Amino acid sequence: MSLKRTLVGIVRSQEGTSDRAKDPQMKTRYYNLSKDKAWEEVLSILKKIPGYKVLHEVASVGEITLEKRTAFGRTMDITVSVLSVSPVRSAVDIYSASRGSLGDLGANYRIILQLFAMIDKKLSAYKVIQ
């Protein structure tokens, strides 16, 4: 992780992915799977990760809400969205925010990269290269 990312993390306590992200690692991920199949796969991955607690899941909307406690006692709220782009393609976006007023020193950025690494590993056969 770069020094710039750490410095930004001093004041910022949230991070999210999007199509328009400047950082290529923070761009939305696309998979050649239907939304229902992608939902099942992503949900099964997230339920198996130690240290993360699935709080809420809404299949009709495509949102999964997670909670993670850090070693320092902070709580991070993470929302994973599985969206339908077409009948055979879906997109995954992640938003992570730390509770509290101070920055997170880039922890939310690292959490998103970690989650995407796990999802990409499991769904590598279906990933759309951009």
Chain segment 9-20, per-residue pLDDT in tens: 667 788 999 999
Distance CA 122, CA 128 (A): 13
Domain count along the chain: 1
Q: What is the pLDDT of residues 39-60, one digit of tens each?
A: 999 999 999 999 999 999 999 9
Q: Are 106 and 1 in contact (CB under 8 A)?
A: yes
pLDDT of residue 5: 64
pLDDT band at 100 (very low <50, low <70, confident <90, very high): confident
What is the identity of the amino acid at 76? M
pLDDT at 63 over 70: yes
Give residue 14's domain range. 3-126
Return the SS3 of 5: helix
Q: Which CATH number is 76's domain given?
A: 3.30.530.50
pLDDT band at residue 120 under the 50/70/90 scheme:
very high
Of residues 69, 76, 81, the one with CA closest to residue 39: 81
Per-chain mean pLDDT for the chain: 90
Nearest CA to 11 out of 104, 78, 91, 88 is that of 104
Question: Tens of pLDDT along 77-92?
Answer: 999 999 999 999 999 9
pTM listed for this prediction: 0.90
CA 126, chain centre distance (Å): 18
Asked if 106 contacts 14 with a C-beta cutoff of 8 angstroms, the reply is no
